[in-house]
Amino acid sequence: MRVDNLRNIAIIAHVDHGKTTMVDKLLRATDAFRANQQVEDRVLDSNDQERERGITILAKNISIEYKDVKINVIDTPGHADFGGEVERVLRMADGALLLVDAFEGPMPQTRFVLRHAIDTGLKIMIVINKIDRPGANPEKAYNDCLDLMADLGATDDQLEFAMEHVVYASAMNGFARLDPNDGNMDMYPLLDMIIDDMPAPEVDENAPLAMQCVTIDHSNFVGRIGIGRVYSGTIHQGDQILVVKNDGSSATATVKQLFTFDYLGRTECQEVGAGDIAAVVGIDRTDIGDVYTDPENPVELEPIEIDPPTLSIVFEASTSPLVGRDGDIVGARQLKERLFNEAENNVTMKIEELEDKSGVEVSGRGILHLSVLMESMRREGFEFQVGRPRVLFKKDENGNKMEPVEQAVVECPDEYSGKVVEVFGTSGGIMTSMDTSGIVTHLEFKIPTRGIMGLKNRIMNVTHGEGVFYHTFLEYGPYAGEIGNRQNGAMISMTTEKAVAYALGTLQERGQLFVEPGTECYEGMIVGERSKAGDMVVNIARTKNLGNQRSSTSDISVQLVPPRTFSLEEALEYIADDELVEITPKNIRLRKRLLNATDRKKAAVRAGQVNK
């Protein structure tokens, strides 16, 4: 039976192609807000980090109503590091809007999210966004989308549907058109196409209940809330249901509260029918993949499988001499508790305590995925330290070592393309395609995840800031051998004091500084990068010896170059194996694992790096 008054659609796209802005405009077009209501742009990016970074991290559910049809809209993350969210939530949809920038066309993460939509069997409608952007080429972007769908193994039905259903839009200016030049200035052509042509849910309302939890929400008042689609039957408030876990175990539970999505909020209701998306309260410790079904006639659904993590980082309690200055949660026990709580809510992360109890290993889908967790923790008042990200290797059937391989794309002015190819060559990358037909050169590479670390800064340097760099996980491939690490040595503080301008003035001639006058430093902290290989221990508190002669003012003033500052991701990509990133609510510091210079020399001797 078709539920004609319901549509479930997901919006998928590469980062920054306009998904969340498009949802804003659909909400406005369907009168979701009062006439005088003050509404922020990108209303769905409710998380602080989402607004600051300009990306969607968590999938969001909303619903809009148009021509008496309820449209459940799922806004998905565009970044491959949050792909675990995409894989799960697409199960709730019957169709997807593929948003593509009319200037950039399909990008690496378009491939990533589109592959999941095709594998899930969704009908895909192409929306060419930003058609009013200078240099936009909507026709090429549309053809590239069809080529990409064919390349990813789309069925004939999916390709036919995409060919016949294309909309040209500018989410920023709030219009959608069936032809780029037809002059329409509202969103109704897109909404009409969703209502008329997107498939309605095909369900059996009389079959036993079957619902699968794909997203977990948490409330301090009622605990975990399981969100998912009702595939068959009807779920009622007060129902006694059977909860079947991914491992096959099961237990009964009572539905205490039931909600459906209503514009930006949720509405409590007594029952939710097949085809709709519901939020269920009352299932203790419910988890991703749990199936809610009828105890008398249980229904089996496919378990949710998620791509494995590719990177791991060890979290440790901070051993810095400045520990406790910025944050108020510094203990190893609290750190462990916080990380194991994260494991309950974040199914895409694998969190395990090390055998020697010295720290907790957190595995995720990429540096951004892991750094979002670190940023959340530092905002909560935690102080901790982390080591260099390690790639997770695995073995194939023949026992050969395999490592994660990424697809990387660089777009840059033609004169810098040679330098970009050279940088990738030294990092284990292999060029797979080069297109010089547009305004900029488009280069694609396959490169081990190990080679990606620290690559963005090098690309920005050789392209003089004009390059655009994206990468996404592609597959596990054969181990690519040794890849060169950081070439330059570090400047390491020898004392625990504040940095002094006079000392920094002499040091900046030897390399690039990471600190400024007045910065609290400690022994073993990395204060700069040398222009040569090999580490150098420096005195950042050295002052000028005063003689009995007068000195002119010009002799006293020191001209300092502004120091290089690191974001959390840049710091994680920068450090070497024997270094750590110290993370506090106010500071990100780089340091050596062994703070004392003598201890570092002894360790080097033991490792056979230095002759006795």
Beta strands in 546-587 (DSSP E): 579-583
**Contact in structure between 240 and 254 (CB atoms under 8 Å):** yes
Q: Which residue, 311, 439, 410, is CA-closest to 108?
A: 410
Rounded to whole angstroms, the Cα distance separating 35 from 55 reads 28
| 19 is known to lie in a ligand binding site | yes
| 129 is known to lie in a ligand binding site | yes
Element (H, E) at 225: strand 223-232
Rounded to whole angstroms, the Cα distance separating 211 from 235 reads 9
Show the tokens assigned to 216: 């977990």
| 130 is known to lie in a ligand binding site | yes
DSSP of 345-398: H-TT-EEEE-TTSS-EEEEESSHHHHHHHHHHHHHTTB-EEE---EE--EE-TT
Residues 6+ apart with CB under 8 A from 447: 405, 406, 408, 424, 427, 428, 429, 430, 455, 471
Amino acid letter at 69?
Answer: V
105 DSSP assignment: -
Residue whose structure tokens are 């499988």: 305
3 state SS of 125: strand
| 132 is known to lie in a ligand binding site | yes
Rounded to whole angstroms, the Cα distance separating 157 from 577 reads 50
| 30 is known to lie in a ligand binding site | no
Rounded to whole angstroms, the Cα distance separating 444 from 461 reads 19
Q: Per this entry, what is the length of the chain? A: 612
Q: Which residue, 126, 153, 155, is CA-closest to 141?
A: 126
Amino acid letter at 498?
Answer: K
| 601 is known to lie in a ligand binding site | no
| 239 is known to lie in a ligand binding site | no
| 9 is known to lie in a ligand binding site | no
DSSP of 86-123: HHHHGGG-SEEEEEEETTT-S-HHHHHHHHHHHHTT-E
526 burial level (CB within 10 Å; 0-12, 13-18, 19+): buried
| 599 is known to lie in a ligand binding site | no
**Contact in structure between 469 and 408 (CB atoms under 8 Å):** yes
Q: Nearest 10 degrees: CA dihedral of 471, 472, 473, 478?
A: -30
- The percent helix, strand, coil of the chain (3-state, each to 5) is 25, 30, 45
| 25 is known to lie in a ligand binding site | no
Show the tokens assigned to 510: 């030897």
C-alpha angle 263/265/270, rounded to 5°?
Answer: 100
Question: Which residues participate in the annotated binding site?
Answer: 16-21, 129-132
Question: Which residues participate in the annotated binding site for GTP?
Answer: 16-21, 129-132
